[in-house]
A = this chain, B = another copy of it.
Amino acid sequence: MNLQQRQEIYETAKSWIFEAGNEIREHMNGPLGIETKSNPNDLVTVLDKQTEKFFVDRIHESYPEHHIIGEEGFGDTLSNVDGTIWIIDPIDGTMNFIHQKRTFAISIGILHNGIGEIGFVYDVMGDNLYHAKRGEGAFKNDIQLAPLDRKKKLEESIIGMNHFWLCENRVVDYKVTQKFVRTVRGTRTIGSAALELASVAEGVQDAYLALSLAPWDVAGGIILNHEVGGVAGDVDGNAWNPLERASAVVANPAIHSAIIEFLKEGRK
């Protein structure tokens, strides 16, 4: 993928995102066709599926040699990261989508031979597009995002994480998470991993921690973060693997190691 090809893919993907976003907004006041997937809290709607299919059909048509990893199952099953891969979450934050009719996102990360080249997180109802190309910076709409503050301290940080970190879980002893919550300045829960990551890239919060996420939850947001200095990996500090579900710690570079160190004490 040379820069000219990348620019063309970027422009095309962006136009598809706006088209899909329009479609979603137009349907927001209709019935959403809620099904339940593996459990009643794992909601999926007709619009999730339609939106993923919209992207998959267009990618197959325009870039038949590209691969796709998507939440709703219209993509491919991949065993390696060779070539160009689109990692797509058509609606990240489905519970917010259904319940709030806001605070959800379209997330797309495009990798070439394992390297994140293009990232998008589109806050559909707010009509805010976060976007990045490797080496060219990250943007919110037309505004370039500043590099993350390298003097940030853990005690002065706002951390995005859900409440399950403080319940019995497979990743970290909640007694350690309790100490962590009392150490940082504040904790928040948005309910969309993609928007949490966009908030980290924007410097609005300083890290996002998740017990278990799929590649499509984080691909777009991690590529954004790379452009402002954000560090992404799992709870042990291993680099992000775009083919695997894992825990996630995506953080301002000044506090990333401190978070890993803090949680290590309670690591299971």
Contact = CB atoms under 8 A, between A and B. Distances in A.
A100 interface: yes
Interface stretch (A15-23, A62-70, A179-187, A225-233): A179-187
Given A99-B204, A158-B95, A178 B167 contact: yes
A189 interface: yes
Nearest to A99: B158
Contacts of A191: 158, 186, 188
Contacts of A186: 41, 95, 99, 191
Contacts of A199: 100
Counting every copy of the chain, the complex holds: 2
A102 interface: yes
A151 interface: no
A190 interface: yes
A205 interface: yes
29 contacts: A40-B155, A41-B186, A95-B158, A95-B185, A95-B186, A99-B158, A100-B158, A100-B199, A100-B204, A101-B204, A102-B204, A161-B163, A162-B187, A163-B163, A163-B166, A163-B181, A163-B187, A164-B181, A166-B166, A166-B174, A166-B181, A167-B181, A168-B178, A174-B178, A186-B191, A187-B189, A188-B189, A188-B191, A189-B189
Interface of A: 40-41, 95, 99-102, 155, 158, 161-164, 166-168, 174, 178, 181-182, 185-191, 199, 204-205
Given A99-B158, A164-B181, A187-B189, 6 more contacts: A41-B185, A99-B186, A100-B158, A100-B199, A163-B166, A188-B191
A189 B164 CA distance: 13
A157 to B, nearest CB: 9
